[in-house]
Amino acid sequence: MVVMIDVDDVLADFNKAFLQLAHEMFNTPVDVEIRVWDFYLSIPGLTREKELLVWQRIRETENFYESLPTFATVEDLENLRNFVLHFNCECVFITSRFPTKGRFVEVQTANWIRKHVGVEPKVLVTSEKGSLCRKIGIQKALEDAPHHIRDLTLNGIETVIMDWPYNRKIKGLPRVKSVTEFLNLIES
């Protein structure tokens, strides 16, 4: 079996990093639940224009993705490491991250996974996850972003949703709250 695991807000805590950066730039709150995909609609005091400035700061930050905190727990990361090393399954990490200063996105992402998961990862970057997954034979995917979930399912990829408030309008697909729950679905 070949599985796809998204990185941001599945393994790495991009939302937390974004909230912290917005706070540093505009003194917005950091303890906010992201309920919709556009951050400015969830973060008090953040306008669309200010959100664009945060995105620009991310682009200008050298090796931004390597500095992200973990979202997955230590147990989740250990379970993922054991899964990649010992389960008869290929794991591909696919992200739609945009370039920042410093190393290529693939390199930053692979460095983060090496550091936090402890495996040599296969990392691919695309904004069209569904067609790429179909092309490389992905059978099951773990994803949080609503537009990628739709793209994956339209391309016939069995998709499991990492549960977040911003994707709860999507019905009819299995949901998990952790990487371990996803791995348990595969192993059962």
Structural domain for 142, as ranges: 2-13+66-187
Whether the CB-CB separation of 128 and 157 falls below 8 Å is answered with no
pLDDT at 140 over 80: yes
List, for residues 4-60, the tens digit of each pLDDT value.
999 999 999 999 999 999 999 999 999 999 998 899 999 999 999 999 999 999 999
CA angle 156, 161, 162 (to 5 degrees): 150
Domain boundary among 30, 49, 64: 64
**Per-residue DSSP letters for 39-59?**
GGGTSTT--HHHHHHHHHHHH
Q: 19 and 108 share a domain? A: no
Res 46: pLDDT: 97
Q: What's the pLDDT at 87?
A: 86
41 lies in the same domain as 95: no
Domain boundary among 64, 79, 105: 64
* Domain shared by 98 and 175, yes or no: yes
Order of strands, sheet of 140-143, starting from the edge strand that comes earlier in the sequence: 122-125, 90-95, 2-5, 140-143, 158-162, 175-176
**From CA 152, how far away is CA 69, in angstroms rounded?**
26
Question: Where is the domain boundary, 30, 48, 64?
Answer: 64
Q: What is the pLDDT of residue 88?
A: 81
Mean pLDDT of the chain: 96
Q: What is the pTM of this model?
A: 0.94
Distances (CA, A) of 4 to 53, 129, 162: 31, 9, 13
What was the pLDDT predicted at 158?
A: 97
Q: Does the pLDDT value for residue 89 go beyond 90?
A: no
Tokens describing residue 44? 């008090």
Q: Answer yes or no: do 76 and 45 share one domain.
A: no
| 141 shares a domain with 125 | yes
The CA R_g of the chain, rounded to the nearest whole Å, is: 16
User: What confidence score (pLDDT) does residue 51 get?
Assistant: 97
94-118 per-position pLDDT tens digit: 999 999 999 999 999 999 999 999 9
Instruction: Provide the CATH number for the domain around residue 171.
Output: 3.40.50.1000
Looking at the structure, tell me whether residues 51 and 120 fall in a common domain.
no
33 and 78 inside one domain: no
Is there a single domain that holds both residue 91 and residue 177? Answer: yes
In sequence order, the 6+-apart residues with CB closer than 8 A to the CB of 111 are: 66, 103
Same structural domain, 72 and 110: yes
Q: Which two tokens stand for residue 126?
A: 């695309």
Domain count, the chain: 2
Residues 88 and 179 both lie in one domain: yes
Domain identity same for 116 and 164: yes
Same domain, 57 and 130: no
Q: Which residue has the tokens 């092309």?
A: 135
